[in-house]
Amino acid sequence: MKEKKIILASASPRRKELLALMGLSFQVVPSREKEVPEGDTPAEIVENLSRQKAEAVAAGYQDGMILGADTIVVCDGEIMGKPRTKEDAFHMLHSLQGRTHEVYTGVTLIDVEHGERTYDTFSRKALVTVHAMEDWEIWAYIEKGESMDKAGAYGIQGSFAMYVDGIQGEYHTVLGLPVAALYQELKKFH
C-alpha cells in the first residue's frame, strides 16, 4: 500500500520534531484561518480547534493525510491560551505554580482521497504538577523568552522543566502531540 503524504497543519516546532521522531515523512502547511473555540468541555474545545486547523488546510488538497493539532492548558476550569504580554504570562504562571493543572491536546486526521474526506478526531489529557515558585523565579523564566508562544505560558521541554514536579499521562500530550495515540490512530488508515 502506498504511503500517504502527511500535511501538518501547524507551524509548531515541537510538533514538527515529534513527527520527525516518529520517522514520518511530512510537509508543513500551517492553517491561516482564525480558530474559534467551540464546545462544552476542554476535550471538545481542543478537538474542535484541531479540526478547524485541519479543515482549513484540507480544502487545498485532493489527496493526502492532513494533521491538525491544538493544545490548551486548563486551571480551575479556566482555559489558558498563549499569553499576549509578559504580565499576562506572569499571571498564568503564578496561577499554575504550587498546584496541578490539566493539559489537553486535540488531534484531527483528515484522510483525503480523490477529494473524499474521512475524519478521525481525538484528544488526550495529561496532568502537570508545578512546584511552588517565587515571583522572581516566574519573572526570570519569562525573561528567557520561552513563555510567549505557548499555551499556559510555559514549554515543558525547556528550562521550565526544573519547576515540574510530575506528569500523569503522556509527556508528549503536554508537548503538543500525543505521539503514542497518534501512532495508533494512523495505523487505522493502513
For residue 129, give the H/E element and its range: strand 116-130
Question: Strand, helix or coil at 68?
Answer: strand
| d(C-alpha 83, C-alpha 89), whole Å | 5
CA 18 to each of CA 36, 40, 72, 176: distance values in angstroms, whole numbers, following the listed order: 25, 29, 18, 9
**C-alpha cell at position 168:** 500523569
How far is it between the farthest Cα atoms of the chain?
56
- Pair 43, 72: CB distance under 8 Å: no
Active site residue 40: no
Sign of dihedral through CA atoms 188, 11, 72, 68? negative
Which of 48, 52, 60 lies closest to 7, judged by CA?
Answer: 60
Catalytic residue among 70, 76, 88, 135: 70
Active site residues: 70
